[in-house]
Structures are given as C-alpha cells and as structure tokens.
Amino acid sequence: MSALVDLRNVSKTYVRGVQKVEVLHGIDMEIRAGDFVALMGPSGSGKTTLLNLIGGLDAPTGGSISVGGQRIDQLSESALARWRAAHVGFVFQFYNLLSTLAARRNVELPLLLTRLSGTQRRQRAQIALQLVGLADRAAHKPGELSGGQQQRVAIARAIVSDPTLLVCDEPTGDLDRHSAEDVLRLLQQLNRDHGKTIIMVTHDPKAAEFARRIVHLDKGVLVDDIKRPAA
C-alpha cells in the first residue's frame, strides 16, 4: 500500500533580512492512511514547520511533498488554498473559535466554502458535535464552555468536512491534564474507530503515548521514528 503522505528530501529555509535560517534538512518520511503520528522535539527542532508543510500552510524550499498522490508543493497559492479546504482539518493550541457564534455555527464555518444548503450544513455540524460528545452544547457560545469543551468544538470544526488529514499543533497545550486526556482519547477514537489520519505536534511525552507512531526531530533532522502497538 502506498503512503498517503510522502516527503522526499524536504528542506525549508527562511530568509530574515540578509540571514538565512535553515529549519529542515532533507526530510524523508511516509505516513500511511489511518496512522496517528506524534511529532516531537525540542523548541526550534522544526516540528511545527514540518506540520505546516504537510498541511499546505507553507511551501518547502526544496524536495517534494505528495498527499494522496498529489504534489502539493507544485500547487499555486490559490490551488493550495482550495486543496487545504477540501483535504485538511486543523486543530491548534488556542481554539480560534468566534466568541459571538454558538458551537454549531462555529463548526459550520468550513462548510460555508461548499455548495451545501443551510440545512445540510446544520445537519453535518450537529453530527460532528455528536461525534465529539457535545451535541447537547450546540447552542452554547465559547464563553459558556470549558477549555476542554472548546477544543472539542474546534475538533468538530476540523472534521466536519471529512478531511483526508487531521493536523494538530499542540492541541492540549492550553488544557489541564484531565481535559487534555479527554481530548487525546477523542483523537485516538477518531483515529481508531473512524479511520482519521492524524499528525500531531506535541512537547508532552504523555500526549505522544496516545499516537501509534512517534517521530522525533532535532535541529531540522529526523532522528527517531518509533512505531507503537495499537491501543
């Protein structure tokens, strides 16, 4: 079976004035459909940069990135934006919910880019909220929800369009331990029971234990790749 995500000799360099900062160096990595990968490493190791390249938020300086057989590094900015909308769900450390909108309306937002009717959008949003255990909080605004509940709403928003990839950047970094474990168990359930392919950046070794595979980066180089037994 071919890889869903295939990186070949990927490098990334940022230019700051006259200085060049090399963040990633010749990364080769494959991620199969249905995997749950934790990207770990010290600050400045390049893990968030790598996540952003896989999610199409940034472009590599060199090498190739294929997702589902498509070379996303060759897409124009507008084509890449359309690809992201169709194929990637994003979950960030800070939930990025609109405070004036109820949970269901927040979850609906990615669907505004589709041709779905208002009724269809509401139905899909309600199903997504049900999957994350918040169907009874659909009418609540973010300020009426706990941090863990807000992150669950953010996850529902990320999965509402049934993306190819779920890309998570420190999804438990702003949560207490109990809420963090609830969110990680939810991600694990989405991976195990619904086949979602998840790539997660984390500093937390306990969070990484929920993944099927742990990839360590250091100074822009992949230094370790550990496959864990399925939970």
Is the model's pLDDT at 29 over the cut of 90? Answer: yes
Is the model's pLDDT at 230 over the cut of 70? Answer: no
Q: Which residue, 23, 35, 42, 31, is CA-closest to 6?
A: 31
Is the model's pLDDT at 1 over the cut of 60? Answer: no
The verdict on domain 5-227 having CATH code 3.40.50.300 is yes
CA 119, 141, 181, 166 torsion-angle sign: positive
Is the model's pLDDT at 228 over the cut of 70? Answer: no
Rounded alpha-carbon distances, angstroms, from residue 194 to 9, 35, 90, 169, 189 = 31, 11, 17, 20, 7
Evaluate whether 108 touches 122 at the Cβ level (below 8 Å): yes
pLDDT digits (tens, 9 = 90+) for 69-117: 899 999 999 899 889 888 999 998 888 899 999 999 999 988 887 788 8
- What's the whole-number average pLDDT of the chain? 90
Is the model's pLDDT at 121 over the cut of 80? Answer: yes
Both structure tokens of 31: 């991620």
What is the mean pLDDT of the segment spanning 58-62? Answer: 92
Q: Specify the pTM.
A: 0.89
pLDDT digits (tens, 9 = 90+) for 142-169: 999 999 899 999 999 999 988 989 999 9
Q: What percent of the chain has pLDDT over 70?
A: 98
CA separation for the pair 225, 223 (Å, rounded): 7
pLDDT digits (tens, 9 = 90+) for 202-214: 988 999 999 999 9
For the chain, which residues make up each domain, given as ranges? 5-227
